Amino acid sequence: VGRIGRSATIERHTAETEISLTLDLEGSGKGQRESGIGFFDHMLDLLAYHGRLDLEVVAKGDLQTGSHHTVEDVGICFGQALSKALGERKGVARFGAATVPMDEARSAVAIDLSGRPLLVFEGAVPPGRTGEFENELCEEFLRAVAGTARITLHVRLEAGRNAHHMIEATFKAFALALRQAVAIEAGREEVPSTKGTLGG
């Protein structure tokens, strides 16, 4: 099985959103992110760049209802693409953790490509909006990713007052932790589990 070019494309059409997403784990941040929500595109840019992912996202959602459906559904598609690109999860580091500051804010993210979907989110982003992005969607995006990628994802907002900084620190920490977890370990051929599977 070739490990170079671990990639996947997901097309998802519902009554609320139409999404096309392509993810390549051996990337460098290339791709366009067009969700119709400027701040969310900014976060996806950070995720791609710091995660060393090539990521194409075109999302057309029912933004007249707010940004919720679009952000959550992009999360569903990102998680599906991640799981598909990882395949049997052979040879990967499996675990990743990163703490990232941004000015007064600080966020810590830990990941296990466990095969079991779970988000633990400690702390809270202040309510409100950043641009057209509803702040609580930071947590909702990550919950959707954890669910469809079947990963254990812990987020702890350790400090912060400014929602833009807190969300941005969280996306950067997620990117760095994910990059570690999906990295191929030299000489490791097997699924990194004493159970013999990361299938959940």
Distances (CA, A) of 114 to 27, 149, 154, 163, 191: 23, 10, 12, 30, 11
To Mn ion, the closest distance from the beta carbon of 112 in angstroms equals 28
Q: In the complex with Mn ion, which residue's Cβ is closer, 24 or 41?
A: 41
Residue 6 or 164: the one with the smaller Cβ distance to Mn ion is 164
* CB of residue 132 to Mn ion, shortest distance in Å: 14
Strands 118-122, 152-159: pairing kind: parallel
CA distances from 57 to 11, 61, 74 (A): 10, 12, 8
Q: In whole angstroms, how close is the CB of 102 to Mn ion at the nearest point?
A: 8
> 120: closest CA among 108, 130, 129?
108
| Interface characters, 110-149, with Mn ion (x: CB under 5 A) | ----------------------------------------
String marking each residue 149-168 x if it binds Mn ion according to CB under 5 A: -------------------x
Judged by CB, which is closer to Mn ion: 73, or 168? 168
β-bridge mates for residue 137, sequence order: none
- Minimum CB separation of residue 168 from Mn ion in Å reads 5
> Which one, 19 or 157, has the nearer CB to Mn ion?
157
Binding site for Mn ion (CB under 5 A): 168
